[in-house]
Structure 1
Amino acid sequence: MAGSLMAVTAAPASATHNDYGCPYGAVCIYNNAAPTSGIQSGGVYWAYGPHNLSNQFGDHYVLNNQYDDAWVELCTGYNGTGRGESIISAGWGFVENLSPINSIALGTGDNYPCSPP
């Protein structure tokens, strides 16, 4: 009897990339300091530029699931202004105290909108 061959194919890794429910290419803010707590309602950000936050207090996990050299900066003022508290590079996530944070800004390159602390 002749043996049979079976071909197996897989989707490219980038097509299925997803960390803690955060879609690839997005920045996500989670309900609390654990990424397993789930993403907040409205806590997925795709577009470059500033995004105002409201009623964010205490520690939250913030995941930058963007690609290449994209970053997210946490700003004390609204509309991506004020003092920059943290800059998270693509592919990284950290527990951040969002009590002093009023906006986040997504971008690329080295043109961070918030002033350094």
Structure 2
Amino acid sequence: MRTKLRALLSASAATATVVGTMLAGAGTAHAATLYGCPSGAVCVYAQDQPASSSTLTHAYYSYGAHNLSNQEGWHWVINNQTGGASATMCYGYNGGNCTGTTIAAGSWSAENLSPINSIRLNRP
């Protein structure tokens, strides 16, 4: 399933890169929406679904920990924060045991959220 999810996201990566390059060339101050994830947010998508605006289930904007509930199985997590901020998967609630994947700004990851209990948005 992870390979299938990666293939779905990769198929659109070229389009997003072209659009992002065009916007950067126009001198925009904000990152473009990335697979439906608004600029400045970290987004979680529906289980086993491609990342798009129609499958977006959660968007987090503030730094710090955000607890998850009822998130099982594989989900796309996209970090569309600006200024180089990262996002880290945490095994404990309230940002405890943050030894999971760290996603750099402008990046994404297919994550098994079954053992993940919170996502921490990190200042650059």
Q: Scaled by the length of structure 1, what TM-score is found?
A: 0.76
The secondary structure found in structure 2 opposite 1:99 is: coil
Question: Any stretches of 5+ residues in structure 1 without a counterpart?
Answer: 1-10, 110-117
Which residue of 1 is the match for residue 5 of structure 2?
none
1:23 to 1:77, Cα distance in 2 relative to 1, 3 A? same
Higher helix share: 2
Using the TM superposition, give the Cα deviation of residue 35 of structure 1 relative to its aligned residue in structure 2, in angstroms: 0.7
Partner of 2:63 in structure 1? Answer: 48
Distance 1:52 1:92 in 2: 21
Q: Which runs of 5+ in 2 are unaligned?
A: 1-25
Kindly tell me the number of residue pairs found equivalent between the two proteins.
Answer: 98
TM-score under structure 2 normalisation? Answer: 0.72
Indicate the structure (1 or 2) with the bigger Cα radius of gyration.
Answer: 1
Structure 2 Cα separation of the partners of residues 16 and 49 of structure 1: 21
**Would you say 1:71 and 2:97 are equivalent positions?**
no
> Shift of the alpha carbon at 1:84?
1.5
- Higher strand content, 1 or 2: 1
SS in structure 1 opposite 2:65? Answer: strand
Deviation string 1:68-93 (CA, Å, 9 cap, x unpaired) is: 22000000000000242110000001
Judge conservation of contact 2:91–2:97 (CA < 8 Å) in 1: yes
The percentage of counterpart residues that share the same residue type is 46
Q: What value does the CA root-mean-square deviation take over the aligned residues?
A: 1.9
